[in-house]
Amino acid sequence: MFFNLHPQSIIGYKKLSDADLGISPTSHQTHIGLYGNTLDFITDYYQESSAQLIYNNQTQEVLSLLDPITNPNGSFRSPKIKLGEINFLQELGLTSVTRKIRDIAQLHPLTNWYLIWFGLENEELVFFLIKEGSTDYFQVIDILTNLLSGRIQRTDSTFIPLIQLLHNKINNLNFNYFQELELFAQTDETAITKRIKPRRYDIAKAQKLFQMIGRTGEELVNHYLEKEKSYGNIKNFQWVNKSTESGFPFDFEITDSQNKLIYSDAKSTSYKFEQKIIFSSQELKFIQQNNNYLIHRVFDLNENPKLRVCNNVEILSHAFVQNLNTFNTNIENNGLKLNGMKVSVSPTLPQLNFDTTVIL
């Protein structure tokens, strides 16, 4: 899973009071109080950071305005999440987690509401809002018995089943964000739309994961080509990155049954076939000069790995290189030069010819 609980985080939960929800006739409370010792990994007592609010099988990016409750002697105790000034939030294009919780609760004023909170290993905070009587409510109650108040530590018997539930929910709800991160890991020119801004930790982890994805994809293509060779469909092949990354704009050299040399690149993804493929300008220039080039598209790596082969990717290179050369000529007149770029391509483009799916 991409998101995991912070190793020092403790899961906190509570029933939200009328004061927390901003509906108490006698209280003007502008925060929701959290319990101490649940977020001890946070070293900054006053923190403004993006967080996730999960409710009704949806996740929304919100602003966590964390602030400690101060004792009369000046010492700090339990943290609280503040409402936040509306003008400040509008400038950021976000709402605070407290405001959003109150907005949701006001739609169902006679309902009991519960909140679970915890921190992820990227130090992002997650707030899980639960409406009494909902599917989420019964799933959690089945584990905890009640949601009135408490803390769940790793040594508690309820920790593992609860964290499995939370892990599955947060990772499933962030699926589209993970897809974008996989593209972002290959090029910082790919815009992230599912979050205001991806955290550096997420990007670093996505880059590390994509290296593993790339290696796994090449290993699967290598195994596939070994079978093709044993069947007599090709005469031989060489995996140029087997021992170390070669830096070549291809991963395999293949000798077909007619003794023709063919180059191939493994383009792999954890997701569906439709996930965009990233090409470098170096790759597209090489394809332009060598039309004997295949794309081995490996997909569904996290489930049941599959393969489709494209044998006419030079169609893309012709259009790209011609326009790139024109662009470079124009900007060179101003003393500028483009040194490499990345291009995202949908494999479902009608001009691309992919063979039928092979189960790896």
- Predicted confidence (pLDDT) at residue 263 exceeds the cutoff of 70: yes
Flag the least confident range among 110-114, 145-149, 176-180.
Answer: 176-180
Name the pairing type of β-strands 125-131 and 47-55: parallel
Q: What is the C-alpha separation between 320 and 325, in angstroms, rounded?
A: 9
In this prediction, residue 16 has a pLDDT band, given cuts at 50, 70 and 90, of very high
In the chain, what percentage of residues exceed pLDDT 70? 93
Q: Which helix (H) or strand (E) holds 115?
A: strand 113-119
Q: What is the C-alpha separation between 162 and 7, in angstroms, rounded?
A: 15
Using CA atoms, how far residue 195 sits from 174, 214, 248, 294, 352, in Å, is: 10, 25, 34, 35, 31
Q: What is the pLDDT of residue 294?
A: 97
Q: Which helix (H) or strand (E) holds 228?
A: helix 200-231
- Mean predicted confidence (pLDDT) in 207-226: 93
Q: What is the pLDDT of residue 201?
A: 62
> Which among 290, 269, 177 is positioned nearest to 217, based on CA atoms?
269
pTM of the model: 0.74
Q: What is the C-alpha separation between 9 and 80, in angstroms, rounded?
A: 16
For the chain, where do the domains classified as CATH 3.40.1350 start and end?
Answer: 213-359
With respect to CATH, is domain 213-359 assigned 3.10.450? Answer: no
173 Cβ contact list (under 8 Å, min separation 6): 54, 57, 58, 59
76 Cβ contact list (under 8 Å, min separation 6): 45, 68, 69, 70
Query: Which tokens go with 128?
Result: 């899980």
What are the helix and strand counts (H, E) for the chain? 9, 16
Q: Tell me the pLDDT of the chain averaged across its residues.
A: 89
Q: What is the pLDDT of residue 194?
A: 62
User: Comparing 41 with 267, which gets the higher pLDDT?
Assistant: 267
Name the pairing type of β-strands 11-15 and 31-33: unpaired
- Predicted confidence (pLDDT) at residue 126 exceeds the cutoff of 90: yes
> 59-92, pLDDT tens digit by residue?
988 989 988 777 677 666 678 899 988 887 777 7
Q: What is the pLDDT of residue 113?
A: 97
Q: What is the C-alpha separation between 141 and 191, in angstroms, rounded?
A: 39
Beta bridge partners of residue 354, listed in sequence order: 310
Q: What is the pLDDT of residue 292?
A: 94
> Which among 169, 171, 197 is positioned nearest to 184, based on CA atoms?
197
